[in-house]
Amino acid sequence: MLIVMKQGATKEKIDGIIKMAEKRGYMARPIPGGDRVSIGILYNKGSVDAGHFLGLAGVKEVIPVTKPYKLVSREVQQDNTIVKIGDAVFGNGSLPVIAGPCAIESEDQALAIAKAVKKAGAQLFRGGAFKPRTSPYSFQGLGRQGLEILAKVRKETGLPVVTEIMDIEHFDMVEEYADLAQIGTRNMQNFSLLKRAGKSSIPVMLKRGMSATLEEWLMAAEYIMEEGNEQVILCERGVRTFVRHSRNTLDLSVILAVKKESHLPVIVDPSHAAGVRDQVMPLAFASSAVGADGLMIEVHHKPEEALSDGAQSLYPVQFELLMEKVNKIHDLTCAAAGEKS
Ligand code: PEP
Ligand code: MN
């Protein structure tokens, strides 16, 4: 349930309502909105009697929340959540692009790719230091050395960096280096990792589990928000289906559904959806056309030598072309949306 306070309700009034809710055994959380504060009632067993709160000083209205997720829900927060990292803004209608290799392999490799993607207009650099590989015999990432390389890339290029966290025990270490923490598809329902991410001071990018429903994905984001971290970006990266013509199937309609259900920004990673290079650019265009809040693209200067995901990594020159074209599509998408309203 959501208790919407009147415009200009004082802190005392808000605290009073929270105390009253807590006395009744609920957990209440203030949610600042555009021009007024709401109070979300969490942890209620069964329905909450709106009558307890209606008519109290400062209360404008009481709205039932019909969804199992609360903090991530648009019912609870109507305004988009905005996540700012460096110059990139996720959730304000712009199209920031994260780019880089699947894995950090060496300083030379990371710097060469980072310089190329920056030149093409990428706003964040990505690269895995801890890699979730299907086979234990595949390259597992450079670990801390990879993080140190990321820090060097940031220093030399000024690009903020994104990297995946697979284990709770690495969280402190990754937080020292990364500007955005990625939780990958395989860990979307690793609840202890999600709770730790919720305590983090850096924003979190939560990828959709490879067979997760929209509800499961949003509930996973709820775990992070419930612990206090409101800076969450969702990332659609394709789901597993019966098809063989791509690694996964990019679920573009989920972008529309997420935007309806949640205020969190949602970006698209067409690289892991496609699995093959030639599908990445068209899928990036389509993602922009449906209103994605950003893109994440794998790029490698020598993809044939890449230690992971070479087949789906774009050459820098292809990435440059992608950036040029996707920005035109983004402008058209914005113009079309403007015409509609
Ligand atoms: C990645 O981004 O390199 C990655 C492993 O992604 P996913 O978790 O979507 O497979
Ligand atoms: Mn990858």
pLDDT in tens, the chain (341 residues): 899 999 989 999 999 999 999 898 888 999 887 778 899 988 766 777 888 898 888 999 998 888 889 999 999 999 999 999 999 999 999 999 999 999 999 999 999 999 999 999 999 999 999 999 999 999 999 999 999 999 999 999 999 999 999 999 999 999 999 999 999 999 999 999 999 999 999 999 999 999 999 999 999 999 999 999 999 999 999 999 999 999 999 999 999 999 999 999 999 999 999 999 999 999 999 999 999 999 999 999 999 999 999 999 999 999 999 999 999 999 999 999 887 54
DSSP string spanning 252-300? Answer: THHHHHHHHHBSS-EEE-HHHHH-SHHHHHHHHHHHHHTT-S-EEEEB-
Q: Whose CA is nearest to atom 3 of ligand 1?
A: 102
Q: Report the atom number in ligand 1 closest to the C-alpha of 238.
A: 9
Contact, 220 vs 209, CB < 8 A?
Answer: yes
Indicate whether residue 127 lines ligand 1 (CB < 6 A): no
Nearest alpha carbon to residue 82 among 293, 292, 296: 293
Q: Whose CA is nearest to atom 4 of ligand 1?
A: 184
Q: CA angle 29-74-58, nearest 5°?
A: 45
Mutate to test the pocket of ligand 1, among 185, 235, 239, 271 (most ligand atoms within 8 A of CB): 185
Would residue 73 count as lying in a domain? no
Would residue 110 count as lying in a domain? yes
Indicate whether residue 126 lines ligand 1 (CB < 6 A): no
| Inter-helix orientation angle 253-261/214-226, to 10° | 40
Q: Which ligand is nearest to the CA of 299?
A: 2
Nearest alpha carbon to residue 206 among 154, 191, 283: 191
- The residue whose two tokens read 């208790």 is 3
What single letter denotes the amino acid at residue 217? W
Query: Are 41 and 99 contained in the same domain?
Result: no
Nearest alpha carbon to residue 63 among 33, 91, 83: 33
Q: What is the pLDDT of residue 278?
A: 98
Query: Are 205 and 280 contained in the same domain?
Result: yes
**Which helix (H) or strand (E) covers residue 197, if one does?**
helix 191-198
Structural domain range at position 27? 2-63
Query: Are 253 and 225 contained in the same domain?
Result: yes
Q: Report the atom number in ligand 1 closest to the C-alpha of 187.
A: 8
Query: Are 89 and 41 contained in the same domain?
Result: no
Question: How far apart are the CA of 269 and the centre of ligand 2, in A?
Answer: 10
Q: Give the CATH number of the domain where residue 247 resides.
A: 3.20.20.70
Q: Whose CA is nearest to atom 6 of ligand 1?
A: 184
Would residue 68 count as lying in a domain? no
Tell me 336's DSSP state.
Answer: H
Q: What is the pLDDT of residue 340?
A: 58
Indicate whether residue 185 lines ligand 1 (CB < 6 A): yes
Give the pairing of strands 204-207 and 180-183. Answer: parallel
For residue 335, give Cα distances in angstroms to 256, 263, 293, 331: 18, 22, 16, 6
Nearest alpha carbon to residue 102 among 303, 329, 337, 330: 303
3-state secondary structure of 155: helix
Indicate whether residue 272 lines ligand 1 (CB < 6 A): yes
Would residue 75 count as lying in a domain? no
Mutate to test the pocket of ligand 1, among 98, 207, 250, 297 (most ligand atoms within 8 A of CB): 207
Question: Measured between alpha carbons, how far is 58 from 5 in angstroms, rounded to an integer?
Answer: 6
Indicate whether residue 238 lines ligand 1 (CB < 6 A): no
Question: Measured between alpha carbons, how far is 158 from 152 in angstroms, rounded to an integer?
Answer: 9
Q: Report the atom number in ligand 1 closest to the C-alpha of 131.
A: 5
Q: Look up the pTM and report it.
A: 0.94
Q: Report the atom number in ligand 1 closest to the C-alpha of 126.
A: 2
Q: Which of 14, 35, 63 is the last residue of a domain?
A: 63
Give the pairing of strands 59-63 and 88-90. Answer: unpaired
Question: Measured between alpha carbons, how far is 127 from 102 in angstroms, rounded to an integer?
Answer: 5
